[in-house]
Amino acid sequence: MRIFNTMAARAIPLVPRSLIRRISRRYIAGETLCDALVRIRALHTAGFRTTIDVLGETACSAGQAESMTHDYLDLVQTLGAENMRTELSIKLTALGLQLDGDACMARVSMILRAAAAHGISACIDMEDVRCTQKTLDAFLRLEAEGYPVGIALQAYLIRTNEDIVPLQARKSPMRICKGIYAEANEHLVDRASSDRSAINAHFVRHVSSAVQAGSFVGIATHDALLIDTLIDWLQRERVDRSRFEFQMLLGVCEPLRDRLLAQGFNVRVYVPYGQDWYGYSTRRIKENPRIAGYIVAAMMRRGRAG
């Protein structure tokens, strides 16, 4: 079954967009801010925290970066008007990091300044390894300027062993995830390209060392075994639950998400919305081959029925 699912994931570009669109409704709040607000209100009512992300690819022009900046500013204004406490997820490449670093910093500073005025924090997302150093440099500068901002780190990268050290010294808020970008083996921890569970020991080490250093840590994973391992450690060390939270994607492993909340843990749900539903959905499907297997099997059944 695993082989079938892996083959299905590779065939996703051949799947009709209409079918991907139906699947995407589980993982994306919608195409508009109004759609996202409906999902966020429901999650807050249920007791979850949220992070909201405006979907978008790497900006190819200054115009695209400016358009994304305005989308974020509109989002912040609306959240502020409704007194809705959430967190922004920001990808720097969507704001022009690869085009003009100074212009990108000016844009993200404008967004963070507006967000801070409404008591809204942000997390700088981590992208592929070509952007890692620039992203870390930008975060350190933004944090030094006093913005309420955290940084995402990817446990499958070898360099995270070193990157996390100065962040721990500063007690920087951080989000630890496994990492999803396709990277060359030379950048990855042992066997991470073929065995995702090989990342777990590194993940646990990064989370535990960051918590012990005094950082607030977002534990971003859907791996139930990894979560149980970390819960055992956190309880054994008597770590106060205000010092960490679990983070999960909208529509993914909802029974596990609900169980964590019922156990009294803080749980944050990542809520994406926007026009780029296709790009985001295909990335999520490729990350979870079981979904791809389900889609392709459904297509085959429909074809036989026809």
How far is Cα of residue 284 from the mean position of the Cα atoms in its chain? 11
Which helix (H) or strand (E) covers residue 73, if one does?
helix 62-81
Q: What DSSP string describes 129-184?
A: GGGHHHHHHHHHHHHHTT--EEEEEETTBTTHHHHHHHHHHTT--EEEE---S---
Residue-by-residue DSSP string for 87-125: EEEE-GGGGTTTT-HHHHHHHHHHHHHHHHHTT-EEEEP
Whole-angstrom CA distances from 283 to 95, 182, 225 are 20, 11, 23
Q: Which residue is catalytic, options 39, 107, 175, 257? A: 175
**Separation of alpha carbons 282 and 17, rounded Å:** 10
Q: Distance (Å, rounded) from C-alpha 121 to C-alpha 117?
A: 10
**Catalytic-labelled residue, pool 39, 49, 53, 125:** 125
Alpha-carbon distance of 91 to 77, in angstroms, equals 19
Look at residues 27, 19, 26, 25 and name the one whose alpha carbon lies nearest to residue 301. Answer: 19
Task: Please name which of 209, 207, 242 lies closest in space to residue 226, comparing C-alpha atoms.
Answer: 207
CB 154, CB 129: distance < 8 Å: no
Is 75 within 8 Å of 88 (Cβ atoms)?
A: yes
Our answer to whether residue 175 is catalytic in this structure is yes
Active site members: 125, 175
